[in-house]
Structure 1
């Protein structure tokens, strides 16, 4: 037994060593491969003082006006409000009133304080309020801990009944509960018995007909009615098996929140979000019609779904909330600045939970995460060669909402401190295709295609201003002189390191050879080194990490026809390696003074501090 135990212990150790050694290279051999995350510091301060953002605002404003003039945008049927913001500033607002909806403006005006129905934005409010109130304390609890009706539910088999104890709070909040919707878009509410029969649908028995639910034609369910009907649903799949978009999961989440907080969902939302953020136009259901109400109600209250009954408010978590451009922008800014949540929690929240069948789309809590390639701002390379465009992957954290006459989008780019809100309200056309959802998507594309590159350029501009220049050692200790040049506007990503020498020796070649455990003479290409911020600040220091690469053309992120295990971006797997005296050769720290002005660069692996000359 002792010998067998020893063998069982030693085999994993050997496998670990083989795994480490098999990586071979600590340098990134695929070209143009940055670390995940921002390649420049997130833009800060008065961002409108950069050249990129005012230009983008002007371009976008012109594009909107042109689209309204030439009919590219659905000018006659869809009214809309747009807000573009940074973490600390409202940068741009735009309002368009469509003729078909003008009579639906209760105050006669469309502005940042006009109330819209916002659909599934309620899912974002429910999740955010949960995190603000309880953090991640209960996130892995089974839902049965907080909802006695589900704890007492009977179970027959996995095909016919739900294993409620397998569904966690996290599963509910990330579309991984395996639950389908309840009462939403049920065809029995669309077609009468005769129409259903003509379509080949069976006749429903009396006990199969919905009597309450989330539909403008139904009264809201009481808690007991909801769970009595909800427990009869067949599962779509098991928990955490695959993402299944589920509205009803958030109503269940709202009931769980009531159990956690010992408050009604309305009281909880007021305490955790509405009051702390001073949201004046965000409610679980529409406010009363008064002479001072500033809202948009296309058509009548039934046609627009404005009058949808939210009952006890828990169904609003699924998608019945109302809000304004001003309030949604304030919510977005609070997320970008992490004003309500501790920063580690915000960072964890702004990460994918699962993927979808689309390579470009992942799912969070409750984020719809769109992955897109973003080109580096182009500029001339210092040695006079033509620049090439490098691209990187950027994740957009979005939440879409659609209900009745309304469509909404909130989008955030945490890597840029950038966000936007689009609220639309429209009436269906009297003839032809319904372009209302397409209007929202077109506006979303116009915004991201204009402002993502602009924020990247603004970030590059600010990073270049702070860090680009020549650095040199003082040689007061008798050591040989070390110097290098940092360039941000060279067509690459992050800060490019050029002319790094010590006592006449090319340090880039020397360090690359050391990393690869080879000889300088064997290098046939001149290596490159790019520095990227890693989000660590303190003691008047900012931490960066370097990625050593060999130059090359092509886009390492391309997935077209690319099977696994070909060339891929693996810089994440070699951060901090190899070490020299237990310090990574990729470890760089900027020293700044109290005003933020850069004083020096510490190359920790080289044990040298070099001072900014220009």
Structure 2
């Protein structure tokens, strides 16, 4: 590794607070969700600037170590923010000799690529946008009655579709597995000739899924990745919309969101801007175009499309804010403590430093979807805690493994950097002392504290009397920290907290940890045993709303704090 690469990695880890050996969870369990408000432009922060400066060095190090194939790969990266509704950072790489794959002679955020199984996310997005999230509870046979009444009642041999819901398919919990035998069955059974496989019909798919497909697990046994299930979901969208899948996603998503480069068929024409690997690889999947497979892994898109789609989710442009939040929740677990499954989100529970440079961590959920078409791969991610998103589009014979390394490099820089930026902003714009000018001796102090999540309530006096007891309901000594609850005076989208202009009110709640704090569970990296003994989420709103504080911010600066329970308003004095 070159010296400059070493410096890049070191500065990245130091500035962004990236995870290192020896990290352990913060003693006080926080609420799940953002630690600090992110109503500021992250591009104006040192943490994000340091991350953007360090990222090329990190990629160069991966090239030099042979982790990434510099010659083979072409990739485009876009990091974007809901605070500004635009890119925070772009990075592009074109391998030596790969220019001939760029149909427009340039790689930018308008360059179209295959997105593989990220298509699944858009299939579900379109279903919810068209039918509402209640459709998750509907049985699949409500929309596709052809799947009912399997030829065999043996649950070991055939999927019982009467037991499977739309939500089970969307969250990989139908036990429907993969469709690898579909092509073989079509040919061997005489259902289709090899030259006709590009035109597999929905009826052929239904017959295979009903009479041939072997179940992998019982419904809702757990999450088992299912390409086959998403072929069925695509046909459910077609039935709900009364259109073919390609027309439904166009009318429901692509046109309303101005996703101009996105399509359900291979882009054609002399003026397209795409990564077309046919000039360098006769076996490329660029022109694989089987309509029935598209809902699972056949869409095309560019970085600008994925940015617009990500912002539409964070900003609740097509869905209501409550439906957005409901959709962005885990629906199943896995064998890992840090990987959960949504519909069809791949949710990573990241341990991020609580404050810049800290070795203590809190949990932040990163919502992603990955995809691959052999020599084309993609990863799409959203961090609701930070109003941040990213896309990674990769082309190359080594694209399948490269996407994970690029994701790791990107995530380990930018997610901790976003957390560090929020902590710095909190120190500069939220922390301080506030007084009630109508009642002598009535004041409170908010702080950002090393190694601890959220804002600390360092002092709380009413009429000259320390009033922590009102917040805890006991005289026991406690550590008190404030966290945003998502309730604001503006529309309740995920991005509402990132509003930078004007005046906004934001609700916070105080969580308490009685001192001495009990150790965290061993499985979390703490010094405790099998169980975690801090039931933070169970101890909110038990003190006549004394734990509620309403922040009023003007142009991002906290100017006053209202204590709901004490019926006092405190204005900033320093």
Mark yes or no: TM-score above 0.5: yes
Q: Tell me, which stretches of 5 or more residues in structure 1 are unaligned? A: 1-29, 189-203, 380-387, 428-434
- Give the structure 2 partner of residue 128 of structure 1: 125
CA contact (8 A) 2:457 2:482 kept: yes
Q: Does 1:377 align with 2:355?
A: yes
CA contact (8 A) 1:601 1:609 kept: yes
Name the CA distance, whole Å, in 2 between partners of 1:575 and 1:611. 25
Shift of 1:105: 2.2
Q: Please, which of 254, 257, 269 is the counterpart of residue 237 of structure 2?
A: 257
Q: Does 1:550 align with 2:546?
A: no
Matches within 5 A, 1:125-524: 125-151=122-148, 153-183=150-180, 207=188, 211=192, 218-231=197-210, 232-288=212-268, 290-299=269-278, 303-310=283-290, 313-378=291-356, 389-427=359-397, 435-474=398-437, 476=438, 479-508=439-468, 510-511=469-470, 515-516=473-474, 520=475
Q: Please, which of 31, 44, 47 is the counterpart of residue 49 of structure 1?
A: 44
CA contact (8 A) 1:56 1:454 kept: yes
Check 1:163–1:571 CA distance in 2 against 1; reply closer, same or farther (3 A cut). same
Check 1:494–1:159 CA distance in 2 against 1; reply closer, same or farther (3 A cut). same
What's the secondary structure of 2:198's corresponding residue? coil
Q: Does 1:534 align with 2:513?
A: no
TM-score, length-scaled by structure 2: 0.85
- Give the structure 1 partner of residue 531 of structure 2: 566
Shift of 1:238: 2.0
CA contact (8 A) 2:368 2:380 kept: yes
Q: Does 1:86 align with 2:78?
A: no
Check 1:330–1:569 CA distance in 2 against 1; reply closer, same or farther (3 A cut). farther
Shift of 1:72: 4.4
What's the secondary structure of 1:470's corresponding residue? strand
CA contact (8 A) 2:202 2:292 kept: no
Shift of 1:80: 0.8
CA contact (8 A) 2:104 2:272 kept: yes
Shift of 1:546: 0.4
Name the CA distance, whole Å, in 2 between partners of 1:44 and 1:597. 9
Shift of 1:292: 1.5
Q: Report Cα offsets for 1:577-598 as digits up to 9, x if no partner.
A: 1x2xxx23312112345x5543
- Give the structure 2 partner of residue 10 of structure 1: none
Q: Report Cα offsets for 1:440-497 as digits up to 9, x if no partner.
A: 11111111111111111222233333321111222x3xx5512221112544211111
Check 1:599–1:113 CA distance in 2 against 1; reply closer, same or farther (3 A cut). closer
Q: Tell me, which stretches of 5 or more residues in structure 2 are unaligned? A: 1-25, 491-503
Shift of 1:104: 2.2
Q: Report Cα offsets for 1:125-170 as digits up to 9, x if no partner.
A: 1011111112224221111111132135434221122211111111
Q: Please, which of 598, 607, 612 is the counterpart of residue 558 of structure 2?
A: 598
Q: Report Cα offsets for 1:11-44 as digits up to 9, x if no partner.
A: xxxxxxxxxxxxxxxxxxx932111111111x23
Name the CA distance, whole Å, in 2 between partners of 1:450 and 1:207. 50
Q: Tell me which structure has the larger Cα radius of gyration.
A: 1
What's the secondary structure of 2:482's corresponding residue? strand
Name the CA distance, whole Å, in 1 between partners of 2:461 and 2:360. 26
Check 1:598–1:168 CA distance in 2 against 1; reply closer, same or farther (3 A cut). same
What's the secondary structure of 1:354's corresponding residue? coil
Q: Does 1:587 align with 2:548?
A: yes
- Give the structure 1 partner of residue 27 of structure 2: 31
Paired positions, count: 531
What's the secondary structure of 2:392's corresponding residue? strand
CA contact (8 A) 1:39 1:493 kept: yes
CA contact (8 A) 2:375 2:400 kept: no
CA contact (8 A) 1:112 1:326 kept: yes
Shift of 1:241: 1.6
Name the CA distance, whole Å, in 2 between partners of 1:397 and 1:79. 24
Check 1:573–1:453 CA distance in 2 against 1; reply closer, same or farther (3 A cut). same
Shift of 1:500: 2.8
Shift of 1:55: 2.0
What's the secondary structure of 1:268's corresponding residue? helix
Shift of 1:317: 0.6
Q: Report Cα offsets for 1:348-400 as digits up to 9, x if no partner.
A: 01100010111111100001111111111248xxxxxxxx6432111111100
Name the CA distance, whole Å, in 2 between partners of 1:480 and 1:460. 31
CA contact (8 A) 1:396 1:412 kept: yes
Name the CA distance, whole Å, in 2 between partners of 1:115 and 1:86. 21
What's the secondary structure of 2:259's corresponding residue? coil
What's the secondary structure of 1:260's corresponding residue? helix
Farther off after superposition, 537-546 or 527-536? 537-546
Name the CA distance, whole Å, in 2 between partners of 1:120 and 1:209. 29
Name the CA distance, whole Å, in 2 between partners of 1:125 and 1:99. 33
Q: Report Cα offsets for 1:328-365 as digits up to 9, x if no partner.
A: 12111211222221110110011000101111111000
Name the CA distance, whole Å, in 1 between partners of 2:175 and 2:334. 14
What's the secondary structure of 1:138's corresponding residue? helix
Check 1:532–1:462 CA distance in 2 against 1; reply closer, same or farther (3 A cut). same
Q: Please, which of 33, 40, 47 is the counterpart of residue 36 of structure 2?
A: 40
